[in-house]
Amino acid sequence: MMLPNKGSTVRTTAWALSNLIKGPDPKAATELIRVEGALDSILQHLRKLDEELATEVAWVVVYLSALTNFASSMLMKSGVLPVLVERLATSNSLQLLIPVKCK
């Protein structure tokens, strides 16, 4: 559901994913990171102008990076972190800072 280009659907999906990932089963992060296209979708949505969407996707990134070394290494290899840093540097949204600060 994060692959289509539908703003509210993608925001809701990102919110649901972040909650599933932080849930009681850390295998969720490993499974999500292995889904073909998941990292590309995360990158794509972080680059969009929609601040609310970028914030929800940032939560997904934070929770993925916190749960497993495998997920963290996949995020590093995908180039998500430079995109997130660039997004933070150019954003005026305090909401976007919350997920990153919580990490």
C-beta separation of 1 from 41 below 8 A: no
Q: Are 39 and 78 in contact (CB under 8 A)?
A: yes
pLDDT at residue 17, rounded to an integer = 80
DSSP three-state, residue 12: helix
pTM for the structure as a whole? 0.76
Residue 54 is part of which domain span? 7-102
For the domain that residue 56 is a member of, what is the CATH number? 1.25.10.10
The ranges of the chain with pLDDT < 50 are: none
Would you say residue 1 lies in a domain? no
Number of folded domains that form the chain: 1
Which pLDDT value is given to residue 6? 55
In a domain, 2, yes or no: no
- In a domain? residue 52: yes
Q: Is residue 29 part of a domain?
A: yes
Rounded distance, CA 47 to CA 71, Å? 20
Please report the pLDDT score of residue 93 as a whole number.
81
- Please tell me the distance from the alpha carbon of residue 98 to that of residue 16, in angstroms, as a whole number: 17
Would 53 be classed as within a structural domain?
A: yes
